[in-house]
Amino acid sequence: MAKKKEGILGQMYADLMGTLRSQYFNIGTNIYKWKDMPKEIPIRYPEKWLYENGTCVFFEHPQAGYLCLPVATESIQKNVYGEPSSWRCVAMGNLSGTLNSLSLDETNSVLIRNDNMYRATQPYVDVMIKQMINVELTMRLNINAQKNPMWIKCSDENVLQKKNDFYEYYECQPAFFKDMMSPNDFEFINPNIKYIGNELVDTYNSYRYRLLAYLGLDNPGVDKKERLLVSEEGSNNDEILMIRNARMEQREIACEKINELFGLNVSVEYNEQLNTERVVNAAGVMPGAQPTQLAYKQP
C-alpha cells in the first residue's frame, strides 16, 4: 500500500509539474510581442529561446534565409567589456550540420539577450513551481488527515483484515503500524493533526505572486489580508516595472542592431493584454490563483 500511495503522489507531482510548466511557459513567452519579423521565422520562437536559454541569435543563412536560433556556445573571446564577441547556434533537421561551419559574430548576426545577465526565465519559474506543488501536496495530505484522523496499531497477522474493514466502511484507510501484539488486539492513536488549509492557500499564493512579479506582471502580492499601504504598493510596482523594462531594453537593443545590420524594420512591444486590472476578492486571493483544494478552505 505504501508503494501504491507513493506512486499516486508521484503521478500527481508529475501531472502538476507538466501542467504548471506549460501554463507559465505560455504566460512567460507572451509578455513581449515581436513585430515585422521575416516570414522565415515563426513569431513564437524568439521568446521561446529567450525563456528557455536566455539568448538566441538572429542571422541570415545562405540557403534558409533569416533564422533565429538558440545559442549553442559562446566564444571564449570577449570584447573590451567582457561580453562574448562570437557564438554558435544549434538547429534541428537538415541545417544542424551546416551551422557548425558558420562563423557568427557581431558583423553578421545579432545576439539577443533575455536580460542584462543573459539569464533564462525558466529555471526560476521551475523553482517556484516546485514550491507551489509542495504546498499543493501538503494541502492534500492535511485534508486527508482530517478525513482519516487516526493511526492504528495492530499485529502483523491482522493488518490486511483491518485495512479491508476500514476501506469497506469508510472508503478510506488510516495509517497502520504493525507491532508485537495479540492477533485480536489493535489500538487507535489520534495524532491530533491540525487543519492548516487556510495558511497553505496563503503560502501557495505567495509563491505564485513572487513568480508573477519575476515575470514582470502586476499581481496582488499580498501575504496578509490587510490592504497594502500606498508606499508598499508603489514599491512593489517599481520592482515589477524594473524587471519588465530590463528585459524590454535588451529586446529593443537587439531590434536596433537587426534593423541596422539587415535593413529590416523589426520591433518589439509589451503585450498590454496581460497587464489586466486587479480583481481581488474579500479573502485577498486573485481568482485563478487557487490550488485545486481551495474548495476545502474553511471560513
pLDDT at 18: 96
132 and 239, same domain (yes or no): yes
Domain membership of residue 82 (yes or no) is no
143 and 154, same domain (yes or no): no
pLDDT at 268 over 60: yes
Q: Which residues contact 226 (CB under 8 A, 6 or more apart)?
A: none
Q: Which residues contact 279 (CB under 8 A, 6 or more apart)?
A: 286, 287
30 and 11, same domain (yes or no): yes
Give yes or no for a contact between 106 and 42, defined as CB atoms under 8 angstroms apart.
no
Order of strands across the sheet with 109-113? 104-105, 86-89, 65-74, 55-61, 109-113
164 and 131, same domain (yes or no): no
The C-alpha cell that represents 153 in the structure block = 496499531
User: Which domain does 233 fall in, by range?
Assistant: 1-54+114-147+196-299
C-alpha to C-alpha distance for 164 and 170, rounded to whole angstroms: 10
176 and 35, same domain (yes or no): no
The C-alpha cell that represents 171 in the structure block = 472508503
186 and 218, same domain (yes or no): no
Q: Which residue has the higher pLDDT, 283 or 192?
A: 192
172 and 235, same domain (yes or no): no
123 and 9, same domain (yes or no): yes
119 and 245, same domain (yes or no): yes
pLDDT at 111 over 80: yes
Q: Identify the weakest region by mean pLDDT among 82-86, 103-107, 153-157, 254-258.
A: 153-157
C-alpha to C-alpha distance for 131 and 142, rounded to whole angstroms: 16
Count how many domains the chain has: 2
Tens of pLDDT, residue by residue over 211-261, are 999 999 887 764 444 455 444 444 567 888 899 999 999 999 999 999 999
pLDDT at 219: 77
Domain membership of residue 92 (yes or no) is no
**Mean pLDDT, rounded, of the chain:** 78
